[in-house]
Homo-oligomer: A and B are copies of this chain.
Amino acid sequence: MGGEGHHDCRLDHCHGGGLGEHPATPELTNRLRRKSRRVTGARQAILNLLRTQSHPISIRGIFERLPQGDCDLATVYRSMHLLEGMEMVKRYEFGDGVARFELLRDGDDGHHHHLVCTRCASVVEIEECGMGQLEERMAAAYGFAAVTHKLEFFGICPRCQGV
């Protein structure tokens, strides 16, 4: 084996059909191949959908927005696990028992938080985060390693306040 590898596919096997035209990002293609996973229509479709979202979206939400139930709900679950493992999406939980995901743009670790309305579930993206020092202090104080955190804010949005 080995060699110059000119046998690589020209990255456009997406010859119509399947889940519609979802141009495979070289990004996705490379990451997947590195793990010998495949560039499938479902995965491309899901990533393309995530690209259009500006807030976390649930798996059911993804499924319903995918072109005419083209892909099975179980496949969306499996795909999100895969993408999460590849650090291409990030999982959030707002406490309602439903996981939500956001696309991780290349080079972005995606660390940020949300302000969620407890009445209508509208979301504001929050970039601020002064937790770094606290994490360090914590690691030092309790001997923990690789300390991270999950932080979400809740409240009542302006629109919902106008009873």
A residues lining the B interface (CB < 8 Å):
93, 95, 97, 115, 117, 124, 126, 128, 130, 134-135, 137-139, 142-158, 161
Contact = CB atoms under 8 A, between A and B. Distances in A.
Given A93-B93, A130-B134, A144 B148 contact: no
Contacts of A155: 138-139, 144-148
Tally of this chain's copies: 2
A145 B162 CA distance: 11
Nearest to A142: B124
B135 A153 contact: yes
18 contacts: A115-B138, A115-B147, A128-B134, A130-B130, A134-B153, A138-B155, A139-B155, A142-B157, A143-B157, A143-B161, A144-B158, A145-B155, A147-B155, A148-B154, A149-B153, A149-B154, A150-B152, A150-B154
